[in-house]
Chains A and B, each alone.
Chain A
Amino acid sequence: MSEPSRGSQISRRSWLLAGLVAPLFRARAADSLAVTFDGDNLHIASPGLHFLIGKPLQRLTGGGTVVYLGRLTLFRDPFVTPFRRTDARFVVSYDIWGEDKFSVTVPEPIPRTVLLPASAAEAWCIENLAINASGLPPDRPFWLLLDLRTVPRKDLSQVLGDSGISIKNFFIEFFSRQPGTDDPQWTRPAGPLRLADLVRTPGRGKIG
C-alpha cells in the first residue's frame, strides 16, 4: 500500500531549506534535468551535460578504462531527506581504431554494451539512470538530484569485475566521501516537480 498523501503541503522549514540549497545549484540551473514518466519510472535527460571531457577523456583516448558512478536521488522535500535512490555504474573506453566512438558497458542487472559517439554515449548513460516512482502521489511535489562521478584509478579494481554486495557497499562508501581534486563530479537538480505535470512516455519496464 502506498504511503498516504499529505497533499501538496510543503512546510515553511522545507521551503527555507530549499532557499538555502537552491543557490548551490544555481550555476547548473540552465542544465537542469528534463524528467519524463512512463507510469512506473522517472526517466531523466540532460542534453547539456557532458562528462566525456577533461582528464577522464584524456585517460580514455590513451586507451584506458574510466568508470563513472551515477546516483539519482528522489526527494519529497527540497533536497533534504532522500526518499529513494538508484545507483548505476558505466564502464567506458575509447576505441583506438574506431571512428571516434566510445564503448559503454552497464554491468547490471544484465551486462549491456554500446559503441557510440561521445554525445550519444553520454545520453545513453543518463537514460539508464531511471528511478521507480511508486509511492509518489501524482499531485505531491518532489525533487530529483543527479550525481555523477568518476572512480579514481586506485579504486578501479574494486568496481571492475565485482558485483553484488561488494559493489553496493562500494557505492555507499563512494558517495559518502568528498570527491578528490582530480575526480570530477557533475550534479544536476530538478524540481519541484509533480507526476501529474510530467510528460508521459510509453512504459519501458520496471527499473530502480
Chain B
Amino acid sequence: MRYAWLGCLLLCRLLVAAPQDADVNVNTRYTVESVILSGQGWTTNLRSETTDKISLGLRHQLVALIGQKLNPAGLDSLAANLKKELSAREVTHRVVRGQNPEEVRVEFEVKPAKVSADLNLDQFVYDSKQGWSGSGAAGLTAGQHSFSLGLVSDGDWLDERYAGFRARYEDKRLLSDRISFRFQVESYHDQWNSSTLAELAARPGLTSEAYRARQNFQPSVTIALAKPLTLEVGTRMERFENEDPAAGTVASDALITTLRFHRRLEDSDSQQDLDADCSLHAATRALGSDFVYSMRTAGVRYQFHRGKHVVTDNAWTGMILGRAPLSDRFVMGNTYYLRGWNKYELDPLGGNRAVHNSVEYRYGPLQVFYDAGAIWDAGQQATPRQSLGVGLRESAFSLAVAFPVRSGHIEPILMMGILP
C-alpha cells in the first residue's frame, strides 16, 4: 500500500512537472491566421501566395502553421531553417494580432547578408562520347549587387569544345524592384572535331568558318511585366577570331528579347510547375554585324510533383533564318537533347531548324526518359529520332545510360555528373 501511494505521488509529480513552452506561453491559445515572409523589397503571404525563394519542404512546414494553435518554440527552428536556406544574415520572427480576435499573424523577416561569397559547381558531366565538361564559378553578393567569375570547359553543349572564363555582374534592383540589369562577358578558346571541319569544307557559306577563339559581351535588362511574366531585352555582341590570324575577326551583333512565364500550382500533396519562354535574336548590318540572321525559339516545360513521383515534359523548337555563326546553331545529341545520340553523327555543323520533346518520369532517385526530336537545315528533309534512357538522379547528381532508338546495333552512351 505504501508503494502504491508512493507511485501515486510520483505520477502526480510527473503530471505537475515543469510545463513545456507550448503550455507556458500565453499565446499558445491563439490560432495562426497567416504566415508572412518578407525581405528586402518583397513580401509573401503564404496563406494566399507561393514563393520560389524557399524549398517546397520548408514552405509546407510554414503553411502547416496556418489554422493551428501557435507554437512559439517551433518558430525559432523555422527561422533557423529560413536563415540557412536563404543564406541570410538574420531571420527574425514576431507574432502580431490577426484580423479576427483570438487569431495571430506570424511574421518572418529576412535580413540579407551584407556581403556573401559562394563557390558553385554549375555543371560537371561525363559523356562517354564527348568526354568531360564542367563549369564552376566563384560569386560575391553585396546587397542587390552580385558578381561572379567562372571557368568553363565544355565539349557537350555545342559542336565545338570551348574553354575559357565567364564573368557576370548583376544588379537585381535597377531603379525599381521590377527591373534587373545583367552584364556578362565570356571569352573562350575553341577546338574542333574533324567531322565538323570536314563538313565545313563540304558546305561553305552555310555558317561561319571555324574560329580559334570567341568573345561575347552581353548586357541585358529584365523587366517583371507581371508577377509570372518577365521580359529580357539586351544585345549580344560576339567576336570570332579566325583560325588564320591574318583573316582578322568577324562580328555577330544581335538584339535579344526573351519572354518568360512561370507558374506554380500546388495543393497539400502535389505541385505543378509550368515554364514557358520564347525568344528572338536578330542580328543586322545596322548593328555592325557580319552575320545577318534571326533566331526564334520557343519552349514549354511542365512538371508534376507528387510524393516521390515526378513527371516532366519538356517541348522545345527553334528556327534560324539567315546565316548564323556556328556557336548560335542548334545542336542535338548532347546531355540535354536527344540523349544517347552522337551529335557529330546527327549533324556535325548543327542545324537551323530543330524540334524536340522529352518526357521524363522519376520515382525517388530512379529516372527513365524518352527523347524525340529532329535537327535539320532549311531545304532538307527532317529525320525524326528517338532515344530512351534509364538512370539515377538525386538533386543535381545524375547517372544515366541512354540508347538511341534505331535499327541495327545498339550503342548506349553513359552520362554522369552534376547537371543544372
Contacts and interface: CB of A to CB of B under 8 A. Distances in A.
A160 B74 CA distance: 13
Given A96-B27, A97-B102, A111 B16 contact: yes
B21 to A, nearest CB: 4
Nearest to A107: B18
B93 interface: yes
Contacts of B72: 63-65, 93
Interface of B, helix, strand, loop or mixed by DSSP:
mixed
Nearest to A58: B94
A139 interface: no
B18 A167 contact: yes
Interface size bracket, B side: 20 to 34
A162 B92 CA distance: 26
Contacts of B18: 107-108, 111, 160-163, 167
Interface string B100-122: 01101010000000000000000
Contacts, number: 83
Interface in A70-95: 91, 93-95
Contacts of A136: none
B386 to A, nearest CB: 57
Given A65-B24, A65-B25, A93-B25, A107 B104 contact: no
> Among B27, B73, B104, which residue has the most Cβ atoms of chain A within 10 A?
B27
A93 B76 contact: no
A191 to B, nearest CB: 32
A115 interface: yes
A107 B16 CA distance: 9
Contacts of B25: 63-65, 91, 93, 103
Given A65-B72, A95-B26, A153-B76, A160 B20 contact: yes
Contact of B26 (A98, A108, A160): A98
B7 to A, nearest CB: 18
A107 B13 CA distance: 12
A120 to B, nearest CB: 15
> Among B16, B20, B24, B30, which residue has the most Cβ atoms of chain A within 10 A?
B24
Interface in B314-350: none
Given A64-B72, A105-B19, A96 B104 contact: yes
A110 interface: yes
Contacts of A160: 18, 20-21, 24, 73
Contacts of B101: 97
Nearest to A95: B26
Interface in A133-152: none
> Among A61, A63, A153, which residue has the most Cβ atoms of chain B within 10 A?
A63
A47 interface: no
B123 to A, nearest CB: 39
Nearest to A98: B26
A179 interface: no
Nearest to A61: B94
Contacts of A103: 24-26
B9 interface: no
Contact of A97 (B20, B30, B94): B30
Nearest to A161: B20
Nearest to A153: B76
A64 B17 CA distance: 22
A201 interface: no
A105 B16 CA distance: 13
Nearest to B19: A111
Contact of A95 (B24, B27, B93): B27
Contacts of B17: 163
B73 A96 contact: no
Interface of B: 16-21, 24-27, 30, 70, 72-73, 75-76, 92-97, 101-102, 104, 106
24 contacts: A63-B27, A63-B75, A63-B104, A64-B25, A64-B75, A64-B94, A65-B25, A91-B19, A91-B21, A93-B25, A95-B27, A96-B95, A96-B97, A97-B101, A103-B26, A108-B18, A110-B16, A156-B73, A160-B24, A161-B19, A161-B20, A163-B17, A163-B18, A167-B18
